[in-house]
Amino acid sequence: MSENIYTDESEHKLALRHLVKEDYADLKIMMDEVYPDLGGAWPEKQYRAQLTVFPEGQICIEDHGKIVAAAFSLIVDYDKFGDHHTYDQITGDAYLTTHDPLGDVLYGIEVCVSLDYRSMRLGRRLYEARKELCQSLNLKSIVAGGRIPNYKDYAHEMSPQKYIEQVKKREIYDPILTFQLSNDFEVKRVLTAYLPEDKESKGYATLLEWTNLYYEDHKSPLIGATKTSARIGCIQWQMRSLNSVDELIQQVEFFVDALSDYQCDLALLPEFFNAPLMGIDEHDSSFDSIKALAEYSSEILDAISKLAVSYNINIIAGSMPVMDNGELFNVAYLCRRDGTLESQYKLHPTPYEKRAWIMKGGNGLNVFDTDFGRIGILICYDVEFPELARLQSEKGMQMLFVPFWTDTKNAYLRVRHCAHARAIENECYVITAGSVGNLPKVDGADIQYAQSAVFSPSDFSFPHDAIMAETTPNTEMTLIVDLDLTKLEQLKNEGSVKNYLDRRRDLYKITWLGD
């Protein structure tokens, strides 16, 4: 957002733009000047948190490089707060921890204009910029709590409701409410104790709304709507000798058919579930074996994608080796039941994969939209790097799927404990599936240990040990679990602890440096 505004060419040069960290010194001077009775400017750590959480919503007007007006906002899922809230509740104490990129309302938290610029209608320019932002983001409305500072002169003779009516009729002037009404905002109700320290307004505030007439309401369709619960099927896969791809697909279809009969939304296969195909022919080295296995991946993927469509179930095809531009990668595929395909490359090959298979790590991290929620995939070792799940969580991930392949119990426990931690840290479900059994003819795949499981956050709405369900160790079987996605939203806002909301965004953040 950048707009040059010229008035009295020799005197001013105004520009509308987004705020940046370096603006804090100017902003502090202005806010200390405007709000001496309300504590002045926010601490710099709060300001930095606002820029980190929602930089698009923090805008300003500068004059010859000096900040002379500013407006701050966030996006909220308004139904979570409703019309009864305080300033601290809906803004997360001004740290914007309540910001929800998937919300439906732009909430205005502050508009401030330097006292020396009050006659230039800069507030109106900021309000127009907010409206433009609201329309660009296709949000339903702008909502804000407005101070009524002149109420201090009338509190002894009338209620705040009557005062507001008098201001509406222009029988009383209020510097804030009069301005807001002239900018097409309507008063929805009176808020009590909205900003208790506001002595001029006696703690009262108006709840104001501007409606976006261009808002396109994407209502849930009568059929095919995104679900509020998901039924997940994990396949604890038995490694067995196979003689062809057809035998492998036959075994996959057996499990897909069974899970489809139970109306599962998704079936999860383990990492390298197709490893038995390495035993079809003899190879001189482990590298030759994995390269030969990669030659089957395209055929297997095509067959599983067709199974997803014909059995009406989404399938995460564990992971398979793939040759890409002459390099070998470990790739998980999401085969949707509508026929579409997406992939997640393993970012961290294990030391064995790098040494024996010359395997490379991918460079992209994804979150996928499905007909039952937003999901992420991390292949085995990747779940041991907490930054990845955190980045996915910031993009709205509700369920994390972890196909794994471990040989010994201690290797398995690394994956299990890390997967469990990711569920608690990121307030999401984590679903794991591994393989069991032996492959005597396959180098590097002699033994497997697995106990597939579904983990939840740790709070009262979930099982006391935060384990939704788990399989019998080292036994081929399926695990079917129903996941209530509404509980995740309740946890986020009402949990005993609030890992997402309580993150100190003013102190730290995780930044993706890849493509």
Does the pLDDT value for residue 4 go beyond 60? no
Q: Are residues 275 and 333 in the same domain?
A: yes
Q: What totals of helices (H) and strands (E) does the chain contain, helices first?
A: 13, 23
Q: Report pLDDT digits (tens) over 295-349.
A: 999 999 999 999 999 999 999 999 999 999 999 999 999 999 999 999 999 999 9
Q: Which residues contact 174 (CB under 8 A, 6 or more apart)?
A: 148, 149, 150, 151, 163, 167
Does the pLDDT value for residue 6 go beyond 50? no
Q: Is residue 489 part of a domain?
A: yes
pLDDT band at 224, cuts 50/70/90? Answer: low
Q: Which residues contact 219 (CB under 8 A, 6 or more apart)?
A: none
Q: Which of 380, 427, 470, 476 is catalytic?
A: 380
Given a contact cutoff of 8 angstroms between Cβ atoms, the answer to whether 229 and 151 are in contact is: no
Q: What is the C-alpha to C-alpha distance for residues 284 and 103, in angstroms, rounded to an integer?
A: 57
| DSSP-assigned letter for residue 280 | S
- Would you tell me how many other CB atoms lie within 10 Å of the CB of residue 52? 17
Does the pLDDT value for residue 3 go beyond 70? no
Q: Is residue 514 part of a domain?
A: no
Across 406-426, average pLDDT: 96
Q: Is residue 404 part of a domain?
A: yes
271 is catalytic: yes
pLDDT band at 197, cuts 50/70/90? Answer: confident
Helix axes 245-261, 297-310, angle to 10 degrees: 20
Q: Are residues 195 and 249 in the same domain?
A: no
Does the pLDDT value for residue 8 go beyond 50? no
Q: Which of 62, 209, 346, 476 is catalytic?
A: 346
Q: Are residues 272 and 170 in the same domain?
A: no
Q: Is residue 375 part of a domain?
A: yes
Across 168-192, average pLDDT: 92
Across 475-490, average pLDDT: 94
Q: Is residue 152 part of a domain?
A: yes
Q: Are residues 431 and 291 in the same domain?
A: yes
Does the pLDDT value for residue 408 go beyond 50? yes
Given a contact cutoff of 8 angstroms between Cβ atoms, the answer to whether 114 and 68 are in contact is: yes
pLDDT band at 219, cuts 50/70/90? Answer: low
Which amino acid does the sequence have at 387? E
- For residue 422, give the nearest of 409, 434, 413, 431 by alpha carbon: 431
Which amino acid does the sequence have at 121? R
Q: Are residues 457 and 344 in the same domain?
A: yes
Q: Is residue 504 part of a domain?
A: no
Q: Are strands 14-18 and 59-63 parallel, antiparallel or unpaired?
A: antiparallel
pLDDT confidence of residue 7: 47
Range of lowest pLDDT (92-101, 328-337, 435-444): 435-444
Q: Is residue 505 part of a domain?
A: no
pLDDT confidence of residue 195: 87
- For residue 148, give the nearest of 116, 96, 189 by alpha carbon: 189
Tokens of 2: 């950048």
Does the pLDDT value for residue 220 go beyond 80? no
Across 218-236, average pLDDT: 79
418 is catalytic: no
| DSSP-assigned letter for residue 270 | P
Backbone CA torsion sign across 19, 23, 28, 31:
negative
- For residue 318, give the nearest of 283, 354, 277 by alpha carbon: 277
pLDDT confidence of residue 364: 96
Q: Are residues 468 and 321 in the same domain?
A: yes
CA 19-25-29 angle, 5° bins: 105
Q: Are residues 263 and 119 in the same domain?
A: no
Q: What is the C-alpha to C-alpha distance for residues 263 and 374, in angstroms, rounded to an integer?
A: 19
pLDDT band at 223, cuts 50/70/90? Answer: low
346 is catalytic: yes
Paired residues of 230 in beta bridges: 483
pLDDT confidence of residue 247: 96
pLDDT confidence of residue 255: 97
**DSSP-derived 3-state class of residue 45:** helix
Q: How far is residue 145 CA from its own chain's centroid?
A: 26
Q: Are residues 137 and 238 in the same domain?
A: no
- For residue 187, give the nearest of 215, 213, 166 by alpha carbon: 166
Residue 165: φ, ψ to 5°: -65, -40
pLDDT band at 508, cuts 50/70/90? Answer: confident
Q: Report pLDDT digits (tens) over 40-69.
A: 999 999 999 999 999 999 999 999 999 999
Where in the sequence is the domain holding 34, given as residue range(s)? 14-211
Does the pLDDT value for residue 12 go beyond 90? no
Q: Are residues 185 and 243 in the same domain?
A: no
Q: Are residues 187 and 315 in the same domain?
A: no
Q: Is residue 219 part of a domain?
A: no
Tokens of 269: 């296969």
Given a contact cutoff of 8 angstroms between Cβ atoms, the answer to whether 377 and 401 are in contact is: yes
- For residue 372, give the nearest of 455, 271, 456, 484 by alpha carbon: 484
Q: Which of 271, 353, 427, 470 is catalytic?
A: 271
Q: Are residues 207 and 298 in the same domain?
A: no
pLDDT confidence of residue 361: 96
Kindly report the CATH number assigned to the domain that includes residue 477.
3.60.110.10
Higher pLDDT, 337 or 441: 337
Backbone CA torsion sign across 224, 225, 229, 234:
positive
Q: Are residues 240 and 207 in the same domain?
A: no
Number of domains in the chain: 2
What rounded mean pLDDT belongs to the chain? 92
Across 182-197, average pLDDT: 90
